[in-house]
Amino acid sequence: MASITLKNIVKKYGDGYPAVNDVSIDIDDGEFVILVGPSGCGKSTLLRMIVGLEDITDGELLIGGERVNEKAPRDRNLAMVFQNYALYPHLTVFENIAFPMRLAKGQFSEDEVKEKVNQAAKLLELTEHLERKPGNLSGGQRQRVAMGRAIVRDANAFLFDEPLSNLDAKLRGQMRAEISRLQRSLNTTSVYVTHDQTEAMTLGDRVAVLKKGVLQQIASPRELYEQPANLFVAGFIGAPSMNFLPGTVETNSAGNPCLSTPLGEIELPEHLAAAGKDKEIVLAGIRPEFFEEASQVEERRRGHGSVISAELSHVEWLGNEQYGYIGYENDPRVVETLQRLAEDMDSDDLRTQLVVALDAMSRVRGGDTIDLWVETRRIHLFDPATGENLTRDAEAGAELTRLAAEDRKRDRERQASRD
């Protein structure tokens, strides 16, 4: 096991376009780091550079403190789980798992191989399938064989390249839990590439968000969610995505600072207003769950928010939750920014509607006009020109990530005492 350090890593292909540009990440020993971003953001390239399947154009890669830029994959002692599992179809499950040990000829006796494979198989509940060929296994079983091959290695780190993308939704949830459990119990440094932000949020100790080869932010899932560094991270993390409502910081008739938006005035806490008041226009990042039906809000919380009135165009009732949609006229000054953001995020819809999370019990229908309370203290203001988060509280964010690290340490200790 080892730490992995990426120092100003750059990858350029023939056309000179940097697929990965100046990425620096410190991955602690035993840490589970997720690389996430839309397709083409360079996350897979980065992973393949770590494992040695792609050359590093510039920068330095250290594993366990040792520079490995020039080392062949086989000399880096890393284990990788591929997107399509990459099981050897001509070998049985047993031989697939044993493969890395068979390659390291002379290092493992036949008994050792057997013991290790059987141990891994037991851990992965593959014992009864050991003599089968991969072609006869289900998707989930194949996935587990691929992990088995990684486990028996005593590798310095596990690398996962979108390992769950070929599974159906139900199985994906199950395997997600399994990977998480395994990683915690083996405590092996892991780097995991995905475009699925649910995987990123649930698995990662820390999540690195990439866009077009550039690292946007690396932090614990909670910090990413609560204190995103910029418009892209804010939009990419969270489902449904954060709403970006254009507005200008003004003073309302009551003399309080407020944001004037196409949906009316939203009163702002002082510190937010201060951050946004110099800008001609800002984008207010409001997550759907920041909204609540005004009539439902408890009295003691009411003061932390502001109320707007709007007509719902339609609602979606999903059983455990309900989303309302509100159309509005977008400000031409931010259309371009939002369009670019949509492209960056790999989604083609230019959103000119607000999504609000409503109580599943609510009987509101499309066409109803309702009063919505919005929790203004959690709003972030973004500069449409640069995408920068004007109201990010770095300290609060760091605190969230520190807490996450503590949680992980506690997990590990608990695991150690159990073993």
Partner 1 sequence: MAGSSGLTGRQKLGWAAVSVVILVYALFPVAAIFANSFKTQADLGNPTFWPSNWTWGNYQEIFVGGAQELFLTALRNSIGITLIATFIAVVLATLCAYAIARMDFPGKRFVLGTALAVSIFPVISVVTPLFNLWRTIGLYDTWLGLIIPYLSLTLPISIWTLSAFFRQIPWELEQAAQVDGATQWQAFRKAIVPLAAPGVFTTAIIAFFIAWNDFVYGISLTSTEAARPVPAALAFFTGASQFEEPTGAISAAAIVVTIPVVLLVLLFQRQIVSGLTQGAVKG
Partner 2 sequence: MTTTAENPANAEDRRRRDRRPARPKKSDRAKAEARLGWMLAGPAFVVMLAVTAYPIAQAIFDSLFSYRLTAPDERSFIFLDNYLLLFTDGTFWRIFGVTLLITVITVAVELVLGFGLAIVMHKALKSLRGLLRTSILVPYGIITVVSAFAWYYMFHINSGFVNQWFSWVPGIDSDLDWFANFWTAITVIMASEIWKTTPFIALLLLAGLAQVPDELVEAARVDGATRWQQYSRVIIPNMKAAIMVALLFRALDAFRIFDNVFIMTGGDANTEVLALLAYRQSISRLEIGLGSAVSVVLFISVLLMVFVAIKLFKVDLASGTDASGGGKKKKATRKEGQS
Nearest distance in Å: CB 362, partner 2: 45
User: Of residues 138-197, which lie at the interface with partner 2 (CB under 8 A)?
Assistant: 149, 153, 159
3-state secondary structure 209-266: EEECCEEEEEECHHHHHHCCCEHHHHHHCCCCCCEEEEEEEEECCCCCEEEEECCEEE
**And the tokens for 43?**
């996350």
Tell me: does residue 14 bind partner 1 (CB under 8 A): yes
**And the tokens for 326?**
């509100």
Signed CA dihedral, 159, 161, 164, 166: sign only: negative
Nearest distance in Å: CB 229, partner 2: 32
Q: Beta partners for 68?
A: none
* Angle made by CA atoms 243, 247, 249, in degrees to the nearest 5: 130
Q: Residues 160-199: x/- map of binding to partner 1 (CB under 8 A)?
A: ----------------------------------------
Tell me: does residue 15 bind partner 1 (CB under 8 A): yes
Task: Please count the residues of this chain forming the interface with partner 2, following the rule CB under 8 A.
Answer: 32
Nearest distance in Å: CB 356, partner 2: 43
Give the chain's end-to-end CA distance (angstroms, integer): 18
- Considering only residues 105, 170, 300, 418, which one is a binding residue for partner 2 as defined by CB under 8 A? 105
Q: From residue 358, give the alpha-carbon distance in Å to each of 237, 313, 316, 317, 378.
A: 20, 14, 10, 9, 17
State the CB neighbour count (10 A cutoff) for residue 39: 9
Tell me: does residue 89 bind partner 1 (CB under 8 A): no
Tell me: does residue 54 bind partner 1 (CB under 8 A): yes
Task: Please count the residues of this chain forming the interface with partner 1, following the rule CB under 8 A.
Answer: 5
Residue 223's nearest CA partner among 380, 399, 76, 364 is 399
Tell me: does residue 298 bind partner 2 (CB under 8 A): no
Quick one: which segment of 12-20, 95-103, 246-254, 382-390 binds partner 1 (CB under 8 A)?
Answer: 12-20
Tell me: does residue 131 bind partner 2 (CB under 8 A): yes
Contact residues for partner 2 (CB under 8 A)?
A: 51-53, 72-74, 77-80, 82-84, 86, 88-92, 95, 99-100, 102-106, 131, 133, 149, 153, 159
